[in-house]
Every structure is written in structure tokens, then in C-alpha cells.
């Protein structure tokens, strides 16, 4: 009887062990079928591999903003573009965005990725990652690796990239800004038009003394450029974005600086226009006459060893240079048309005043004159400089702006 019970006990143990083994293998099988398999897991950087890391804002299903980590790796391969986000489900749009980001960099740099693999790894506590809002950051990270640029870890961005490298609008900007601020980021880059919510109200004021003087200002009714409590900068494309990400940008700017000497000499000799500014009521004692300089797609104002870089685009810088050289290629642009219109009505541009700096943005006035009438127009600095360059008009910046925002380069 005792032996019979012992045999039953052994049989029960064997049955239990077999059941556990079966459950174990079923669990593994289901795990492989149900759990998302990481496309690639890379832990160490090899000698022939390039790696860039930047912070990337995202939004949970609850609407809460979180800051994730985007690691981009490029290594020899066969042209694959991979997205690895561990156990998180990657959406179809994110896969398409990754491929588009690489294609854009390939088009911009003319560097072929046929023999290279690009892997984007995203670390996040979100359950699902999808959409296009990471694609601009993906493109910036790939461009930085190709051009051997170091990214500032305290800068983050959001935005969708299109096939031309332009950064397009995305959603949930405020939630992402709050997440960036909470993670102690210094700067949050967003698509053009999404760093502020402004209704512009035109205000015209005219006074008549010896001459009639009118001033046109566009006053913002609402602005959200500081929502989330973090500095926000709008960027048009990935070239503009990477300027704000790049470490050591000022040192590179110094080495590439191109001074437009011919223009600066003409501006210094244009004393008649400076007298007109004083007649209009602008005291040049509170402003400093500056040189206009360009380096690639970067525009800057310079007074001796002090430089103020001003965000612009390649198109705007090209327009300034063409205006200085009186060079219209193919078809006239909007600045050329403005020059023609002003000339027809015998209107002169007597100067540009950079008169305010607020929320990471410079403000300027374009001063124009016809007979005894002077008009001050609230203008974007790059547009004002492009128009003024066609009249060889002087450019001034307020003394306090030069003192607080200027950077020493010698």
C-alpha cells in the first residue's frame, strides 16, 4: 500500500513538471507572437559607428507631455532605416517619418545611404509611439552625424518634416513645452507659426509739424511664445534648426564670417540719410551704426568685435546679397518688387532701426521717406535689411540691445 502511494506521488510530480514545461513553452510562444519584437537592440558603439542623442518631447494618451530620448546610430550596412522602441508599439507613420528624415538628409547633403544603416532608438514610458512629430528631430540628428556636429543636450524640438526639409506643424505644443521645461531644457524649437498665437492689429499714427510723419505698427493682441515657461524659437527647416542645436556655433561663425565691405562702406558714407532719421525724431545717439554680415545662411549685425547673430533663412540671406549687388536672377522676388514700387513713387528708404528684443525675437522698423513725409513701418528684421540693402541705407541697433545680446568674437 505504501509503495502504491509512493508511485502515485511520483506520477503526480512528473505530471506537474510536464504541465509546467508545457505552460512555459506556451508562454514563450505567445510572448513571441503578442509582444512587439525590437527591430534592433544596440548597446555598444563600435569603431565604425556614429551616435547622436537628443531629447524628444512626446505626449501620452492622457494628454500629459513627457520627454523621451532619441538615439540615432549610423553604421555600415545596406540602406536600412530601422526604428527601435523596445516593447512599445511603433506606428506606421513613425516608420514612414524615419525613412523620410533620412531621405531629406540624403537630398540636402548629397551623401548616399545605400551602404549605411540608420537606427532610431526611442526610450519612453508611453504605450504607443506614432505620428510625424519626431521626424524633424530625426532629420536633425542624422544631419548632425553626417556633418560631424555636436548637438546641445539642453535643446529639444518637435515638428514634422516634409520632403523638402521644411518643418511642418504638429499638435500638442503646449503639453510638449511643459514637459521640456520640467526636464530643464533651455530652448524648445517648434514649427514656424506655432511658437505664438497672435492676432496682429494694425495701428497708424500720424503727426504733422514741419513734415507729416506717420508710424505703422502691428501690435500682437495675444502671444503664447513663453507658454510652458520655456524659451521657444520657431524654425523653418532643418538647416535653421541645427543652427540652434549646434554646439560651438559661434566659433564656427567666426571662422566663416564674410564681411560685405562694399556695402558697409556705402552705408557709412550715407550721411544724408542719417540726418533724415534725426529729422524724423530718432536720436542716433541712442543707436549704434552696425555692419551687415553673412556666413552661409546666417545673418549678423557687427560693431567692431561685437556680433549679434540673427536667425534667418538661406533665401533671405541670398536676397540681401543680391540686393547689394543689384543682381536679379531669373525672376524678381518680393524685395525686388518693393524696390521697383518705391522707386516709381520716388520713395527712399532712409534706414533700419533694430529697436527691441523680446522673447528671443528681434524687432525692427523700416523708415521710408517721400518729400516731406516720413513713414515708420514695423518690420521683420530680415525683410527690412533685404529692402534696405537695395537702397544702401544705414542699419542701426539700440545701444542696450547691442550691449546685452552682443557676443565678443575678438
Q: Are residues 316 and 392 in the same domain?
A: yes
* Mean pLDDT score across all residues of the chain: 75
Q: What is the pTM of this model?
A: 0.50
Domain containing 129 equals 50-191
- Per the domain annotation, does 274 fall within a domain? yes
The residue among 355, 358, 236, 352 whose CA lies nearest residue 297 is 236
Q: Rounded mean pLDDT of 228-252?
A: 73
Q: Are residues 183 and 320 in the same domain?
A: no
What CATH number does the domain containing 79 carry? 3.30.230.10
**Cβ-contact 151, 144 below 8 angstroms:** yes
- Per the domain annotation, does 72 fall within a domain? yes
- Per the domain annotation, does 77 fall within a domain? yes
Q: Which range, 42-56, 196-210, 241-255, 262-276, is most confident?
A: 42-56
Q: Rounded mean pLDDT of 89-104?
A: 81
Domains: count for the chain:
2
- Per the domain annotation, does 2 fall within a domain? no
The residue among 305, 306, 311, 295 whose CA lies nearest residue 253 is 295
Q: Are residues 252 and 401 in the same domain?
A: yes
- Per the domain annotation, does 20 fall within a domain? no
**Dihedral through CA 29, CA 33, CA 38, CA 39, nearest 10?**
110
Q: Are residues 256 and 328 in the same domain?
A: yes
Q: Rounded mean pLDDT of 177-182?
A: 86
226, pLDDT greater than 60 = no
**pLDDT tens for each residue of 7-18:** 545 555 555 555
Q: Are residues 280 and 169 in the same domain?
A: no
Higher pLDDT, 271 or 305: 305
Q: Are residues 253 and 186 in the same domain?
A: no
Domain boundary among 191, 212, 236: 191
Domain boundary among 149, 165, 191: 191
Q: Strand order of the sheet with strand 65-76?
A: 50-59, 65-76, 116-123, 81-84
Amino acid at each position: 500500500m505504501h509503495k502504491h502511494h509512493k508511485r502515485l506521488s511520483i506520477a503526480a510530480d512528473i505530471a506537474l513538471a510536464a504541465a509546467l514545461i508545457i505552460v512555459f513553452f506556451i508562454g514563450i510562444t505567445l510572448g513571441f507572437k503578442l509582444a512587439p519584437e525590437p527591430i534592433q537592440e544596440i548597446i555598444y558603439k563600435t569603431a565604425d559607428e556614429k551616435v547622436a542623442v537628443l531629447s524628444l518631447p512626446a505626449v501620452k494618451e492622457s494628454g500629459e507631455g513627457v520627454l523621451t530620448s532619441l538615439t540615432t546610430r549610423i553604421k555600415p550596412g545596406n540602406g536600412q532605416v530601422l526604428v527601435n522602441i523596445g516593447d512599445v508599439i511603433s506606428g506606421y507613420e513613425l516608420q514612414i517619418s524615419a525613412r523620410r528624415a533620412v531621405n531629406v538628409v540624403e537630398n540636402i547633403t548629397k551623401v548616399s545611404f545605400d551602404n549605411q544603416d540608420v537606427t532610431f532608438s526611442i526610450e519612453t514610458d508611453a504605450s504607443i509611439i506614432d505620428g510625424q512629430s519626431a521626424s524633424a528631430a530625426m532629420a536633425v540628428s542624422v544631419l548632425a552625424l553626417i556633418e560631424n556636429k555636436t548637438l546641445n543636450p539642453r535643446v529639444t524640438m518637435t515638428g514634422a518634416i516634409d520632403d523638402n526639409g521644411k518643418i511642418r506643424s504638429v499638435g500638442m505644443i503646449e503639453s510638449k513645452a511643459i514637459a521640456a521645461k520640467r526636464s530643464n531644457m533651455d530652448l524648445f524649437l517648434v514649427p514656424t507659426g506655432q511658437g505664438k498665437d497672435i492676432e496682429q492689429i494694425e495701428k497708424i499714427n500720424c503727426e504733422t509739424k514741419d513734415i507729416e510723419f506717420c508710424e505703422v505698427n502691428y501690435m500682437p493682441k495675444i502671444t503664447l511664445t513663453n507658454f510652458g515657461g520655456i524659451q521657444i524659437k520657431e524654425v523653418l527647416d532643418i538647416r535653421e534648426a541645427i543652427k540652434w542645436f549646434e554646439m560651438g556655433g559661434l566659433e564656427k561663425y567666426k571662422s566663416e564670417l564674410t564681411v560685405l565691405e562694399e556695402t558697409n562702406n556705402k552705408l557709412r558714407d550715407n550721411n544724408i540719410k542719417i540726418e533724415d532719421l534725426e529729422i524724423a525724431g530718432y536720436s542716433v545717439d541712442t543707436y549704434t551704426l552696425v555692419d551687415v554680415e553673412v556666413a552661409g545662411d546666417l545673418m549678423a549685425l557687427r560693431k567692431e568685435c561685437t556680433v549679434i547673430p540673427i536667425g534667418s533663412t538661406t533665401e533671405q540671406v541670398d536676397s540681401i546679397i543680391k540686393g547689394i549687388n543689384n543682381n536679379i536672377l531669373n525672376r524678381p522676388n518680393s524685395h525686388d518688387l518693393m524696390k521697383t514700387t518705391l522707386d516709381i513713387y520716388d520713395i527712399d528708404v532712409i534706414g533700419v532701426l533694430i529697436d527691441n528684443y523680446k522673447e528671443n525675437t528681434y524687432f525692427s522698423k523700416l523708415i521710408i521717406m517721400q518729400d516731406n513725409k516720413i513713414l515708420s513701418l514695423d518690420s521683420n528684421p530680415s525683410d527690412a535689411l533685404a529692402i534696405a540693402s537695395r537702397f544702401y541705407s544705414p542699419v542701426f541697433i539700440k545701444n542696450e540691445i547691442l550691449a546685452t545680446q552682443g557676443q565678443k568674437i575678438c
